[in-house]
Amino acid sequence: MKIGIVGCAGRMGRMVVSEVLAGAGCTLAGGTEQPGSAALGSDVAALAGGEPAGLEVGDDAKALFARSDAVIDFTSPDATAVHAALAAEHGVALVVGTTGLEAAHHDALAQAARQCAVVQAANMSPGVNLLLGLTERCARILGDEYDIEIVEMHHRHKVDAPSGTALALGAAAAAGRGVWLESVSQRVRDGHTGPRRTGDIGFATLRGGDVAGEHAVIFAGEGERVELVHKASSRAVFARGAVRAALWTDGRPPGLYSMGDVLGFG
């Protein structure tokens, strides 16, 4: 399977390149960066620390889609929307790990999914996706008498907050309670806030160092507390999950899929 990587010079892009080069059943179709990037013209594989593969980093995403069976995207929300249109145009599977997506970006992915297979997840880690399922189940069983707080920490370079994974965990908890996250989300506390409102789902965001990603879902009740925790020690787990998702799309019909689908419990 020929896999292309958009944003191949970024931290995640380089890791995805390495996983494709090391993976079975796939070959590297190439990689792109935005116009003006210092990485343009570099060898894609060498940029990721591998042996030169004779594939130069380019800025023509359309050409990359034309020669790929699947493309992996860890770029930016607006770029992902453009890539979704290219995937639909070429009938190429798209795997999206971009965070910070808003309604318009999700709409672009849904439109593309009419023409090609799209796998979108706030987090590509198998462990995190298991955590999502457990969070929904716990929220359903424990009920409103347990306060839910979601705490996440990432490296100092992360630009969106709360993380996409934290929001996905909040959505899972809300689904377990049969409510919309937007109606119960509490993201900021400062000053004299008054008592906690029953049923709220709170978020706390921490940033610093080189933390790959840590998430905790806390169910705090009277006399006891249940905590579900996931800690990623390397971003490689996200790249590995993305490549797994790309391979999974082989032969799949058009549609919008989740990592739960890829792992068999969607």
Query: What is the full per-residue pLDDT of the chain (266 aa) written as tens digits?
Result: 999 999 999 999 999 999 999 988 999 999 999 999 999 999 999 999 999 999 999 999 999 999 999 999 999 999 999 999 999 999 999 999 998 899 999 999 999 999 999 999 988 998 999 999 999 999 999 999 999 999 999 999 998 899 989 999 999 999 999 999 999 999 989 999 999 999 999 999 999 999 989 999 999 999 999 999 999 998 899 999 999 999 999 999 999 999 989 998 76
Residue in the structure block whose two tokens are 């023409």: 115
Question: How many alpha carbons fall within 13 Å on the CB side of residue 109?
Answer: 24
Give the domain CATH number at 70: 3.40.50.720
Q: DSSP letters along 182-245, please?
A: HHHEE----SS--SPPTT-EEEEEEE-TT--EEEEEEEEETTEEEEEEEEES-THHHHHHHHHH
**Annotated active-site positions, please?**
154, 158
Handedness of CA 122, 124, 129, 131 (dihedral sign): negative
**Do 166 and 94 belong together in one domain?**
no
**Do 74 and 181 belong together in one domain?**
no
**Do 170 and 223 belong together in one domain?**
yes
Domain encompassing residue 22: 2-120+235-263
Which pTM does this prediction carry?
A: 0.81
Give the domain CATH number at 161: 3.30.360.10
